[in-house]
Structure 1
Amino acid sequence: MKQRVVTAVVALLIFLPLLYFGGLPFDILVVAMALIAMAEFLIMKKKLLVSFEALLSFLAIISVLVPVFWADFLTQDTLGGSFYFVALLMLLYTVLSKNRFSFDDAGVLLLGALYAGLGFRFMILARAESLWMMLYALLIVWVTDSGAYLIGRKLGKNKLAPHISPNKTWEGSVGGTLSAVVLVGIYLFFVQNYVPQAFAYNYQTMLLLTALFSIGGQLGDLIESAFKRYYGVKDSGKILPGHGGILDRFDSLLFVLPLMHFTGLI
């Protein structure tokens, strides 16, 4: 427990100031986290981090991320082309490696690059939109997780996904979403009163979207639990002692941020 607390304090001391100031330092932090997330996919696949497939994997996720802030002169078509070019190289490598690196390996790593790369890409875009927007996303995840844990512990009886995450319950899930709607709703009320232009929609619409994002965050958590169970690992990584890896800590947010993009907030 002590280790978890120390890690959380140190991580927040690094993350929160960079989040507050935004700009290039925060963007670089996000890129670093994305690269670590890609490394976690490679490790779960039992691939060396100093290998040609690892290099291609890092290039794949960078091709999704970097044009957001370092090469904004690139068009969306060019961005898609750069990722696809790396994908073709990865497929070619299946031939050159004589299937030591297989089509299945390429599929997993490319999907991982899209999943983590686009999730962290939208984190950069959310902070570029405003600090209020990024805090909104973080609060949804934090309040949902805490509410689901506390309410599930007290009232939970019906398992949500016993074969994937046996400790989660329907009661906790519903409680987490209701907690998010109430507590994040208070945040929205004050922000929309003092910074009316912070969000594109009215208060009632934002409450409905908050419920949607809260559910989406829980789905993101379950997705990560599913692939960890498939690969037989407890945590995606060990970079955060007591907390696991980057994917462990940002699994919900990697689902919430794209949903915010698709609904027109970022």
Structure 2
Amino acid sequence: MLTRIATSVIALVLFIPIILFGEWPLLLLMGVLAVIGQIEFIQMNKLSPVSFPAIISAASVFALVLSTRISTVIEGNVMLKIASLLAVSLLVYAVTKPDFKISQIGSIVLMTLYIGVAFYSFVALRTFSATFLILVLLVIWSTDSGAYLIGRKIGKTKLAPDISPNKTIEGSAGGTLTAAVISAVYLIFFPLFESYILSLLFMIMISVIGQLGDLVESKVKREYNVKDSGTLLPGHGGVLDRFDSTLLVLNVLFIIGLF
């Protein structure tokens, strides 16, 4: 527990100033985190981090994060071109490597897009509104903390026993309630939409989506039979473990098109 807390404090001390500063430092940090997350998934697939699939998918996920800058050089839908290039490269590679399966290509391309779009959206959201980004992060973190603390105290009814046996409906509700309280106070000082109620409901939705993102990551790890995605963050696991909720939230915000 102490290791987990110490890691969180150190990460926040390093992370928050970069978020506040934004610009290239944030862009590069998100690119690096995306690459680490992608390599974690590659290793779940029992592939070497220096194999061709690892290198090409890591380069692709980094390019996705940087696609706002790349788009000034390359015309057209940059994200689609990056995804297509990755898929074609892996398909050609599979022809020369019989043990490399088409199902692996599908999962690698899927996770490249999922991770890349999320970290791209992190940068885009910071450019759009720093206060909105901070609120989203506060909602995710407070949901996680609230669900953990309340779930330990009164949690009895399993939320998704086949995916994450320790999560409970009571904990989930408690996490969302905690996020709602945090949002209610934050929105007084930093309004999101013209309607306060609509803004609060939107952040409650973000809380629920974040918990679904946590379950998505648990599903991935269960299918690949791993406890943690990596060991980068002592007490927390890897990048995919720490950003599990954030990945789905940012993908949904990207789809909605708020920034």
What TM-score do the two structures reach when normalised by structure 2?
0.95
Aligned to 2:103: 104
Give ranges in structure 2 of 5+ residues lacking alignment: none
Aligned to 1:244: 237
Rounded Cα–Cα distance in structure 2 between residues aligned with 1:257 and 1:75: 25
Query: Which secondary structure does the structure 2 equivalent of 1:160 belong to?
Result: strand
Task: Summarize the Cα distance change of 1:247–1:201 in structure 2 as closer, same or farther, 3 Å threshold.
Answer: farther
- Write the deviation string for residues 198-235 of structure 1: whole angstroms up to 9, x where unpaired: x3442111111111111100000001011111111111
Aligned to 1:50: 50
Give ranges in structure 1 of 5+ residues lacking alignment: 193-198
1:264 Cα offset (Å):
4.1
Residues 83 and 109 in structure 2, CA contact (< 8 A), matched pair in contact too: no
Aligned to 2:72: 72
1:142 Cα offset (Å):
0.7
Provide runs of 4+ in structure 1 moved above 6 Å.
Answer: none
Q: Identity of paired residues, percent?
A: 43
Query: Which secondary structure does the structure 2 equivalent of 1:167 belong to?
Result: strand
- Write the deviation string for residues 56-87 of structure 1: whole angstroms up to 9, x where unpaired: 21132133222123543444524312320221
Aligned to 1:40: 40
Rounded Cα–Cα distance in structure 2 between residues aligned with 1:12 and 1:75: 37
Task: Summarize the Cα distance change of 1:248–1:146 in structure 2 as closer, same or farther, 3 Å threshold.
Answer: same
Aligned to 1:93: 93
* 2:231 aligned partner, one-letter code: K
Rounded Cα–Cα distance in structure 2 between residues aligned with 1:16 and 1:46: 34
Query: Which secondary structure does the structure 2 equivalent of 1:157 belong to?
Result: coil
What TM-score do the two structures reach when normalised by structure 1?
0.92
Does 1:121 find its partner at 2:120? yes
Aligned to 2:154: 155
Residues 86 and 109 in structure 2, CA contact (< 8 A), matched pair in contact too: no
* 1:163 aligned partner, one-letter code: D
Rounded Cα–Cα distance in structure 1 between residues aligned with 2:242 and 2:82: 28
Rounded Cα–Cα distance in structure 1 between residues aligned with 2:31 and 2:257: 23
Residues 87 and 110 in structure 1, CA contact (< 8 A), matched pair in contact too: yes
Rounded Cα–Cα distance in structure 2 between residues aligned with 1:87 and 1:168: 36
Query: Which secondary structure does the structure 1 equivalent of 2:236 belong to?
Result: coil
Aligned to 1:177: 176
Residues 143 and 176 in structure 1, CA contact (< 8 A), matched pair in contact too: yes
Task: Summarize the Cα distance change of 1:76–1:168 in structure 2 as closer, same or farther, 3 Å threshold.
Answer: farther
Residues 239 and 246 in structure 1, CA contact (< 8 A), matched pair in contact too: yes
- Write the deviation string for residues 79-135 of structure 1: whole angstroms up to 9, x where unpaired: 3123202211111111011x2211011111111101111111110111111210110
